[in-house]
Amino acid sequence: MTAAVPLIQTFRGDLPESLHAGHAVVCDAEGGIVQQWGDPGAVIFPRSSCKMIQALPLIESGAADAHGLRPEQLALACASHQGAHIHTDRVRVWLDSLGLRDADFRCGPQWPADLPARDEIIRAHAQPCQIHNNCSGKHAGFLTLNRHLGGGTDYELMDHPVQQACKAAFEEVTGETSPGYGIDGCSAPNFATSVHGLARGMAAFASAQDRSDSRAQAMQQLVAAMTAHPDLVAGETRACTDLMRAMGGRVAIKTGAEAVFVAILPEQRLGVALKIIDGGTRAAEAAIAAILIKLGALDPDHPAARRWGRPEIRNWRGTLCGRIEPTDALV
């Protein structure tokens, strides 16, 4: 087993202060490793980075077509959104179209990360509901699939047909039998895989235009929805949204909790997966930016590339104190 390698370093002044190690893999259309850092076989929880895989049964089952889902809804099914009105209003309309209500969700209430939306709730002396959960789009997709399958109300349970369909899709796309699962923050099962398996899955999405089967068509729909609506996949001030905009809709990227990031590069037929082992989000954001630059997908001089790939460290007075940047291994 290969040890994790230092990928991101922080400086205070000109002296190194912190170091973030991790694993990363770039896969081609056949699932072969093009580049690697650390251990491709390291087993991780992909967390929310795999939402596009979890959304495959929604399309493949015919549920998306049966309910007339649009690209905006497919983007939300893959989203970890901010809970802004552009997200929650759309999820609310989607839920209404199913004849369901907030209590039918199984993701739990969550304060919005979007500050205006949060402040609006506070000023109203109210509490957030489940529709504000950053995974409510994914769960709206689960409810739509569940309606199509005729399953019971507890769609988040491992033995439920919805989660069984997600598990089958996950193992088929990653090319690995998952060694187990954990319960995610939104209560759904999250299946473990290797970093290589996750990158292999993203490469399958990236090369989907070369195939004509129903899964490939579903993959293309999801990637097109994400790249057309980066604001719905995450939101303002978020790396996913900023970097997808910077790449002009040519690449889909998605973060996951505990410092996981994936990228789908259709023009190059490449898939990327990375995990920072200390769970540091700032390091995962800088690392995915560095890899996208290295692959020629992201202009290093774009403001978003500088913001996320080499961010400045400033104190509360705005004084420049240091910087975050990729190590020589990534550069």
Tens of pLDDT, residue by residue over 216-230, are 999 999 999 999 999
* pLDDT, mean over the chain: 97
Q: Decide: residue 84, CB within 10 A, 0-12 exposed, 13-18 middle, 19+ buried.
A: buried
- Residue 22: strand pairing partners: 5, 276
- Please choose, from the candidates 298, 300, 299, 287, the residue with its C-alpha nearest in 3D space to the C-alpha of residue 329: 287
Question: How confident is the model at residue 2, as a pLDDT?
Answer: 79
Residue 109: pLDDT band with limits 50, 70, 90: very high
pLDDT at 1 > cutoff 60: no
Q: Is the pLDDT of residue 129 over 60?
A: yes
- Rounded Cα–Cα distance for residues 313 and 325 (Å): 11
What pLDDT, on a 0 to 100 scale, did the predictor assign at position 304? Answer: 98
Instruction: Identify the CATH number of the domain defined by range 5-326.
Output: 3.40.710
Location of structure tokens 């989203």: 79
Contact 206, 265 (CB under 8 A): yes
Mean pLDDT of 188-206: 98
- Closest C-alpha to 87, from 284, 278, 235: 235
Domain parsing of the chain, residue ranges = 5-326
Compute the distance between CA of residue 197 and CA of residue 176 in angstroms, rounded to an integer: 6
Read off the pLDDT of residues 289-308 as tens digits, 9 standing for 90 and up.
999 999 999 999 999 999 99
Region 21-28: what's the mean pLDDT?
98
Residue percentage of the chain with pLDDT more than 90: 99
For residue range 240-298, list pLDDT tens digits in order: 999 999 999 999 999 999 999 999 999 999 999 999 999 999 999 999 999 999 999 99
- The radius of gyration of the chain's CA atoms, rounded to the nearest angstrom, is 19
Number of alpha carbons in the 13 Å side-chain half-sphere of residue 274: 37
How far is the C-alpha of 49 from the C-alpha of 259, rounded, in Å?
10
